[in-house]
Amino acid sequence: MAHTVPDISLNDGNTIPQLGFGVYQIEPKDTAEAVRRALEIGYRHIDTAQMYGNEAEVGEAVRASGLDRGEVFVTSKLNNGFHRPEDARRAFESTLSALKMDYVDLFLIHWPLPTRYDGDFVSTWKTLEEFQRDGRARSIGVSNFQVPHLERLAAEADVVPAVNQIEVHPYLTNEQVRAYGSEHNILTEAWSPIAQGRVLDDPAIVDVAEQVGRTPAQVVLRWHVQRGDIVFPKSTTPKRIEENFRIFDFTLDDTAMERLSGLDRGESGRTGPNPDEFDYIPA
Ligand SMILES: NC(=O)c1ccc[n+]([C@@H]2O[C@H](COP(=O)([O-])OP(=O)(O)OC[C@H]3O[C@@H](n4cnc5c(N)ncnc54)[C@H](OP(=O)(O)O)[C@@H]3O)[C@@H](O)[C@H]2O)c1
């Protein structure tokens, strides 16, 4: 079917729509309208975070849509100041009350913060395991975890993260972390999938877009889904919200896929911080 978004199976038996809608850097006052628009177009997966300050407006838009709660996959993430178990428990309750939901589909540790909390993200992860056991987080995962962080969870914790949400786009293909994920049944979610717009005027991407008669953003999002990753582009522009949804009625051939993958710039391609160093704790 032309615009059907595939559901992908997670390692815990749940499923996740491969395409969602991200709400990072959408002002709270604009969030409900953007999410309303996305749900109207057909998105059924919203990616928010405590750090984004717009969970309440996401919940408001989901309720206002008239869709059943079970029809929309909602992700949120633990903010960096709340890694200690007691704080994480309180913060998770505040996520549910802001969303006005009794569960989230997916809850993530937003950043590993290996230089904070004496390097202990394992007790934070074990606290997320509690949320999954009591049913208030249907699935749990991590974000911005590097391979050594994932190896440490594998050695010291019981539950394998369902996903690892990391920066991935043609300028940072992040192959090593993705490969660890695929070897250990951890799905990769690609954040900033169009590098916040920076890859869209790349000559190779523009050329492929002309060949297939699509926009550069559609080509880049299609490249992600053909690699098997989950994406949730952000936009507050109605036309782009719709454009980004129309990526399941064409394919890229191997040559086009390789051209995009060949644009990788390694570390210098990052748009965001390096997770090994990032230590920001919001005031
Ligand atoms: N876990 C993490 O640490 C982390 C970090 C960053 C992001 N994320 C998640 O990933 C989501 C997406 O990443 P992102 O918001 O950083 O960046 P992105 O989705 O790669 O890019 C968003 C930017 O591209 C523009 N844009 C969107 N669609 C476009 C199109 N079709 N043509 C041209 N420009 C377009 C948007 O502008 P307009 O809005 O003006 O249209 C916006 O400026 C976030 O919303 C968030 O959910 C997670």
- Per-residue pLDDT tens for 120-154? 999 999 999 999 999 999 999 999 999 999 999 99
Share of the chain above pLDDT 70, in %: 99
pLDDT at 283: 87
Give me ligand 1 centre to Cα 232, in Å.
8
Give me ligand 1 centre to Cα 29, in Å.
18
Is the C-beta atom of 188 inside 6 A of ligand 1?
no
- Per-residue pLDDT tens for 74-111? 999 999 999 999 999 999 999 999 999 999 999 999 99
- Per-residue pLDDT tens for 202-216? 999 999 999 999 999
Q: Among 47, 174, 192, which residue has the most ligand 1 atoms within 8 Å of its CB, making it the best to mutate?
A: 192
Cα 110 versus chain centre, distance = 10
Atom of ligand 1 nearest to the CA of 169: 20
Q: Among 45, 234, 241, which residue has the most ligand 1 atoms within 8 Å of its CB, making it the best to mutate?
A: 234
Cβ neighbours of 65 (radius 10 Å):
16
Alpha helices in 134-253 (DSSP H): 147-156, 175-183, 203-212, 216-226, 238-245
Nearest Cα residue to 251 out of 227, 222, 276: 222
- Per-residue pLDDT tens for 31-84? 999 999 999 999 999 999 999 999 999 999 999 999 999 999 999 999 999 999
Token match 């987080």: residue? Answer: 137
Is the C-beta atom of 144 inside 6 A of ligand 1?
yes
pLDDT at 2: 56
pLDDT at 1: 45
Question: DSSP secondary-structure letter at 134?
Answer: T
State mean pLDDT over 245-250: 98
